[in-house]
Structure 1
Amino acid sequence: MLKKLYSNISKAELTALHKLASDSSIVIKKADKSGSIVIMNKNDYKAEVKRQLDNSVYFEKLTEDPGEQVYQNIFKCVNNRDIEDEFDTFPDNILTAQFYILPKIHKEYDSKFPLRYPGRPIVAGCNSATENTSKYIDYTLKPNMQSLLSYIKDTSDFIQKIKSVRFRSKHSYLVTLEVNSLYTNIPHSGGLRACKFFMDGTNHSTKLSSKNIAELIQLGLENNCFQFDGESYRQCMGTAMGSSMAPAYASIFMGNSDTIYNNLIEDYIGLAIDTNISDIIITGDFNYNTTILNEIHLSPAETEDVLKSLTAHKAAGPDGISN
């Protein structure tokens, strides 16, 4: 005998939900953090997306659908290196990646934004032409990410690490530093250099050389194309949040800083990166005159990457994606 199903909401509430779902003048998304649901005016939502996509530092508007060209770029790269047996080159049914944003309602209210809050840019690449390549890169890079001194797997891992920390004096503090819009601000040259550096020092679980893997990473970065509202774009800086390879790629890029932080701070706990956070957690003895950044000396290559990132922030301005 089938049990009767009971709803946990009233008929009036159910009717209201159906009405909201069919309202073409609004957009309903989850908030970037906190798990809240946000209902937005569609025109304001589109205006915030346009504000971001019009920033030529990060995005390039295309005059035609790049789908066929992206397909050919991937096909040629994979076949020219005789690595097609390493993974399925394409999904069964290729779809065009789509761009959307999640409102950052945890930020301060700011009337200069169309939504009064900035939006976190996401490229939904499920079944896109680059998805399988991105998954393969993630599989290849993940062991390097997990071997980083700064790697933090999850909350439980962080709790275990923080338990071992002992504060040495009254000047000891627990400090967190947030990397501002990490994914979109990683210069391609810096990300590729970091990945190759770590891959050169390890054995891979694949037959590919570090050079071949770096070429696949570059392929994914340079063919990150998507659509919004029927128009085509390409992301020309950073990696796409929503890409399978993005967390490992970003972690390894930041992993280049491990030696710097550990030479500078006695208890550098680590770097926590997932699809939404990129935080550095440290402890140490500080006083009010401590200036950490003045102690960091970068190589010429690292300086180039930092300057490119700073230039991007400057070009983006107060209304840019760096918020």
Structure 2
Amino acid sequence: MTESNISIHAAILRQHGRDVLKILRKAENITTKIARWTNHRIFNIRCAKVDITPRSIKLKSAVTGIKANKVIHKAEKQLLDIRIRNCSFTISKLQDELQNLETNLFTAISDQEKQEVEQHLSRMRSQEFDKVKCKQREKFGKLVTAKQEFLLKNRAEENDIDRNRWVINKSDRILSENEKSVLEKGLNYAVTPREIPMKEYIVNTEVACRQLAPAKAQSLRADVVKCLRKSKVPPCNIKKGEQKALFDLKKDENITILPADKGRATVVLNTSDYEDKMESLLNDQTTYQKLAKDPTPAYKRELIGIIREWQHSDPIPQDIKHKIYPTTEEVPKVYGTPKIHKPEAPLRPIVSSIGSLSYNAAKVLANILSPLVGKTDHHIHNSGEFVEKVKNLEVPPGQKLISYDVSALFTSIPVPDAIQAVRDKLEKDATLKDRTPLKIKHILELLTFCLNTTYFVYKGQYYKQTHGAAMGSPSLP
């Protein structure tokens, strides 16, 4: 404590007593707090401007990957915004408290003492502000250095990445740089729309309102209308050259663009080559059978019959009934993903059942059955876990480590045996009642229906898979 502090405290104590001195000390305490919180707010604003996350709000997650990192980064930015608002609120609250203390203090002392106290508090605020400012600057500098090192490391890693593996061109078309650039983004990359899809939002809102009470439905409509009125088309997230490249690629009927079966690469094939490979797959009469007409109406009646039978004999909850009740006649579609890691890049058939009559039922089953997967000692979740398990494995001399691959795994699954295996697992599952109110017989009957409705359409021709399960069904966890 400086000599001036001692003298002003002694003077206040001598002239006005201990109670007034307590008010002064409280005012000093709040003054230093305001200085610290002001610095804290400035520090966080600087972090937000240069997109740096302070260590105290860094988030960690066991989930990894690009999408997970984006979610984490977005959450960290939101937390930083909240912290800045909290700083402003705290400073405002402290200033109000200080003002009240100064009012009480200044009514108890003379005008000359008031001027001395104001200078004293201002001096304390400046000293504390400068002291904390040095620490915050040092901390900010370390964060900036850490970010620069991180960016340099990422750039070095990006320079080492072979981008030629991101787009595999097996067609006769010579891709321009803009076409390669837009394809490198991947087939899941969402390009900014040119206009807000108002009709789509309105239709989906009305579908949702059918499940709500009139008052809640009207409130939802009002909220959606308010959001749509305020909505603006975001800036385009691809360059003009990439926009034209995207249009040119879409217009070219001589090529077919597909995701690779493995490796997340984008593959460009001649449409004629793709169709020849698909025809070769579908002409396998041991796996696929051509149908004379669309079987969807018959399957729809079958599923409705199953649900009605349950309602008569052993009712299921209404929410599950609404989920699995078929309200569409969308036909599953088949496409092939090229196996670029194999000679001639053969296709793996994938049946897209999104929107089909059994899709929602398959999703319900997936939520019930997925916890049953991976309960054995020999289950490997992914390649990363496999590497972790074998990295310290030593193969004795004269022995070899061999891996086996099942050819056409899903289409080779015997459906009756699969259903029996599921039955055995469910009967031993003590947690089943915690996951679903459905009984085992309901689950098995629904699973039997989903696994026996493996049909699809390709170029106007309907096919039925004669045995095994279809790749792409949500019921196969």
Structure 2 match to 1:63: 292
Q: Does residue 96 of the first structure (1) align with residue 331 of the second (2)?
A: yes
In structure 2, what is the Cα distance between the partners aligned to 1:133 and 1:66? Answer: 18
Deviations 1:272-320 (A, max 9, x none): xxxxxxxxxxxxxxxxxxxxxxxxxxxxxxxxxxxxxxxxxxxxxxxxx
* Counterpart residue identity of residue 195, structure 1: V
Structure 1 match to 2:281: 52
Contact kept? 1:58, 1:235, Cα under 8 Å = yes
Q: Secondary structure at the match of 1:180?
A: coil
The number of equivalent residue pairs is 236
RCO (CA 8 Å, sep 6+): is it higher in 1 or 2?
1
Q: Which runs of 5+ in 2 are unaligned?
A: 1-231
- Aligned-pair distance for 1:49? 1.5
Q: Aligned match of 2:450 in 203, 206, 220?
A: 220
Q: Which runs of 5+ in 1 are unaligned?
A: 110-116, 249-323
Q: Does residue 83 of the first structure (1) align with residue 311 of the second (2)?
A: no
* Counterpart residue identity of residue 237, structure 1: H
Q: Secondary structure at the match of 2:341?
A: coil
- Aligned-pair distance for 1:97? 1.1
Q: Does residue 106 of the first structure (1) align with residue 341 of the second (2)?
A: yes
Change over 3 Å in CA distance of 1:10–1:58 after alignment to 2? same
- Aligned-pair distance for 1:243? 0.7
Change over 3 Å in CA distance of 1:105–1:226 after alignment to 2? same
Contact kept? 1:124, 1:243, Cα under 8 Å = yes
* Counterpart residue identity of residue 347, structure 2: G
TM-score by length of 1: 0.64
In structure 2, what is the Cα distance between the partners aligned to 1:7 and 1:226? Answer: 35
Contact kept? 1:26, 1:41, Cα under 8 Å = yes
* Counterpart residue identity of residue 253, structure 2: S
More strand by share: 1
In structure 2, what is the Cα distance between the partners aligned to 1:51 and 1:183? Answer: 18
In structure 1, what is the Cα distance between the partners aligned to 2:393 and 2:337? Answer: 38
Q: Secondary structure at the match of 1:198?
A: helix
Deviations 1:18-43 (A, max 9, x none): 22211122211122123332222223
Q: Which is worse superposed, 60-69 or 200-209? A: 200-209
Q: Does residue 72 of the first structure (1) align with residue 305 of the second (2)?
A: no
In structure 2, what is the Cα distance between the partners aligned to 1:47 and 1:67? Answer: 27
Structure 2 match to 1:139: 367
- Aligned-pair distance for 1:173? 4.8
Change over 3 Å in CA distance of 1:98–1:170 after alignment to 2? same
Contact kept? 2:303, 2:326, Cα under 8 Å = no
Deviations 1:231-273 (A, max 9, x none): 2112221111111122x3xxxxxxxxxxxxxxxxxxxxxxxxx
Q: Give the CA RMSD over aligned residues.
A: 2.8
- Aligned-pair distance for 1:69? 1.0
Structure 2 match to 1:268: none
Q: Aligned match of 2:244 in 11, 15, 19?
A: 15
Q: Which of structures 1 and 2 has the bigger CA Rg?
A: 2
* Counterpart residue identity of residue 183, structure 1: F
Structure 1 match to 2:463: 233
Structure 2 match to 1:290: none
Q: Aligned match of 2:426 in 199, 204, 208?
A: 199
Q: Which is worse superposed, 37-46 or 98-107? A: 37-46
* Counterpart residue identity of residue 240, structure 1: A
In structure 1, what is the Cα distance between the partners aligned to 2:437 and 2:235? Answer: 54
Q: Secondary structure at the match of 2:447?
A: helix
* Counterpart residue identity of residue 349, structure 2: P
Q: Which is worse superposed, 121-130 or 195-204? A: 195-204
Contact kept? 2:332, 2:353, Cα under 8 Å = yes
What is the aligned-residue identity percentage?
27
In structure 2, what is the Cα distance between the partners aligned to 1:190 and 1:78? Answer: 24
Change over 3 Å in CA distance of 1:37–1:214 after alignment to 2? same
In structure 2, what is the Cα distance between the partners aligned to 1:171 and 1:92? Answer: 61
Change over 3 Å in CA distance of 1:5–1:143 after alignment to 2? closer
Deviations 1:159-188 (A, max 9, x none): 45446x654743565432212121111111
Contact kept? 1:75, 1:89, Cα under 8 Å = no
Contact kept? 1:122, 1:240, Cα under 8 Å = yes
Q: Secondary structure at the match of 1:177?
A: coil
